[in-house]
Amino acid sequence: MKPLLLSFILLLFSLCCFAQTSPDLDISIKLTPYKNALVYLGSYYGKNKTTVDTAILDAKSEGHFKHKHKLPEGVYFVSSPDNKMLFELLLGKNQRFSIVADTAHIPQIVFKGSPDNDQFKEYASLVDANAKQFNLLNEQVRTAKDMTEVQRIRDGERTLMGQLQVSGDSLIHKYPGSLTAIYIALKSPPHTPAGFIPKNKADSVAGGFYMKQHYWDNVAFNDDRLLYVPFFDHKLDMYFRAFVPPNPDSVIKDMDYMLLYARTGKAVYPYLLSKFTNRYLVPAPGLNKVFIDLFQNFYLKGDTTLVTDSFKKVIYERAYQYMANQVGDPAPALDLLDINDKQVSLYDVHAPYTFIVFWDPTCSHCKEQVPRVDSIYKAKWKAIGMQLYSVNVNGTLMPELRKFVQSNNLSPDWIHTYEPDAKTRELVKNGLPTFRQLYEVYETPTMYLLDKDKHIVGRHLTVAQFDALMEAKQNGKK
């Protein structure tokens, strides 16, 4: 074989091998003054930070971050050998570029072959210049002679903030859809129009409405890059805390909008669904409806593939409980056996009010509370026609229940019931909710008050609170 042909074949072979083994991420870095040391490439994800790669710097302070596959696009950071963050950088579609930096002069960092980081540096320069002017104004505040001068300096600070806001918006429009644009949009605090100064309450309300309307400007909820920018999760929490009234309809409106928008995002959609699920799985009082909305509009429509089987079970059980237990909703049916093993249906009990107590005759708290219920019933509730419906949560303890009834002289008006173990096992086997799930019986005693139509009037209150509720209802009738 001729030498020239052999050389050509070897060149082709080497190029093919390089193409097969060349990493998708290759960032050369020169970071002085570190020599013969490890430096780290870190990543943001929601509220978390983690190390995703390392580079070994040689005696010339040079090294490489290399990765077989590209990393998710977003904001990353380089940390020193002792894991202190030195500077942030962007990883976009192009993840093969170089960095030259000196820890003593970080603002002068140089990126080569990375348009994303050139744009990012443009914004960083604006922020740095703005920060220097802010520091000067803060020094002036310390030496101000009077409040008039302090006010003048504060006005200057507001002007600076307005200028940075305008500059940031300008860069967003200059580089639409870029990582820099996302970074600016998420980092910028909610603001009113530049120069806006509220003069009265109406102005303040209008300003707040404007901030909410523009809070998510330039943010696309189906963009997976959001998760890798450090401000997204905080901005999301702040929005629901400051701009969404804590009532279920308002929360659902904003939450559903975000989830439906995010649905085409491979990473951001499951992240948001998980975040909202965890937030409202055990919601603040009055917000059960939010979790029910999540269950009905997302999980029941096929999104259960996003969670483990064990967590899916928790979600389904909790949803069944909430759906069955909303105040104003019909109470779940109870078809149980009474103390003489005869079937008694809750809906066959006809009374202006029905009081249900789920309890265990061996439970110390039950031994205290059930006689209190009986006492109030005899003193007040019997006269208005209330019916007491007792459910023994442990059907094997019916002898103990009978003994407790007799020894505490409970009213004979009680209807005492239980669910046989065989029926409970059958329901569980068929994937159907038991009374524990339907009525959220996680502790004993658990009590409910129903009206004549068996709609829930009160739930999970103390005996004293139920008594006060009944008094209010009776006074309301008068």
SS (H, E, C) 192-204: CCCCCCCCCHHHH
- The residue type of 37 is A
Sign of the Cα pseudo-torsion (373, 378, 379, 384, in order): positive
Q: What's the rounded Cα separation, in Å, for the pair 65 and 51?
A: 12
**CA dist., res. 414 & res. 250, Å (int):** 42
Quote the pLDDT of residue 10: 42
The two three-digit tokens of residue 232, written as one number: 């997204």
pLDDT at 5: 45
Distances (CA, A) of 455 to 248, 255, 331, 409, 450: 20, 29, 6, 30, 5
Q: What tokens appear for 400 in the block?
A: 């103990």
Q: Do strands 96-102 and 25-32 pair parallel, antiparallel, or not at all (unpaired)?
A: parallel
Tens digit of each residue's pLDDT (9 = 90 or more) over 450-460: 999 999 888 87
Looking at the DSSP bridge assignments, the partners of residue 388 are: 355
What residues contact 236, with CB distance under 8 A and at least 6 apart?
Answer: 275
The full length of the chain comes to: 478
Q: Report the C-alpha gap between 185 and 171 in whole angstroms.
A: 10
Does the bond joining 176 to the residue before it have cis omega, within 30 degrees of 0? Answer: no
The residue among 39, 109, 42, 43 whose CA lies nearest residue 80 is: 39
- Kind of pairing, strands 415-418 and 387-392? parallel
pLDDT, position 14: 43
Report residue 322 as tokens: 């909430």
Contact 274, 267 (CB under 8 A): no
Q: Angle at CA 459, nearest 5°, toward 453 and 464?
A: 110
- The closest alpha carbon to 477, from 387, 378, 353, 330, belongs to 353
CATH of 23-113, one of 2.60.40.180, 2.30.29.30, 1.10.3720.10, 1.10.760.10: 2.60.40.180
Would you give the DSSP letter of residue 433? Answer: -
Strand order in the sheet with 37-45: 48-57, 37-45, 74-79, 85-91
Partners of 282 in the β-ladder: none
pLDDT at 12: 45
In eight-state DSSP terms, residue 408 is T
| pLDDT in the model for residue 13 | 42
Domain range annotation of the chain: 23-113, 116-243, 246-324, 335-477
Which pLDDT belongs to residue 194? 58
* 397: helix, strand or coil: helix
Beta bridge partners of residue 387, listed in sequence order: 354
Amino acid at 414: W
Crossing angle, helix 364-379 and helix 463-477, to 10 degrees? Answer: 20
CA distance 140 to 155: 13
How much is the pLDDT for 230?
94
Beta strands in 16-106, from DSSP E residues, in sequence order: 25-32, 37-45, 48-57, 62-67, 74-79, 85-91, 96-102
Query: ∠ CA(264), CA(268), CA(270), 5° rounding?
Result: 85
Q: Out of 3.90.1200.10, 3.40.1190.20, 3.40.30.10, 3.30.365.10, select the CATH number for domain 335-477.
A: 3.40.30.10
Q: Is the dihedral of CA 468, 472, 477, 478 positive or negative?
A: positive
DSSP string, 234-277: HHHHHHHHHTS-SSHHHHHHHHHHHHHHHTT-TTHHHHHHHHHH
pLDDT, one tens digit for every residue, the chain (478 residues): 444 444 444 444 444 444 445 678 999 999 999 999 999 999 999 999 999 999 999 999 999 999 889 999 999 999 999 999 999 999 999 999 999 999 999 989 999 999 999 999 999 888 887 777 767 777 776 777 778 777 776 777 777 777 778 788 889 999 999 999 999 999 987 776 655 665 676 666 777 788 888 899 999 999 999 999 999 999 999 999 999 998 899 999 999 999 999 999 999 999 999 999 999 988 887 788 898 888 878 887 777 666 777 888 788 777 766 765 566 788 999 999 998 889 999 999 999 999 999 999 999 999 999 999 999 999 999 999 999 999 999 888 888 999 999 999 999 999 999 999 889 889 888 888 888 888 888 889 999 999 999 998 888 778 988 888 888 777 765 4
pLDDT of 321:
67
User: Beta partners for 31?
Assistant: 101
Domains 23-113 and 335-477 agree in fold: no
What's the CA gap between 268 and 222, in Å, rounded?
A: 6
Q: Residue 315 CA to chain centroid, in angstroms?
A: 15
In 3D space, the residue among 444, 423, 367 whose CA is nearest the CA of residue 400 turns out to be 367
Torsions phi, psi for 133 (to 5 deg): -70, -35
Task: Give residues with Cβ within 8 angstroms of 441, minimum separation 6.
Answer: 358, 393, 435
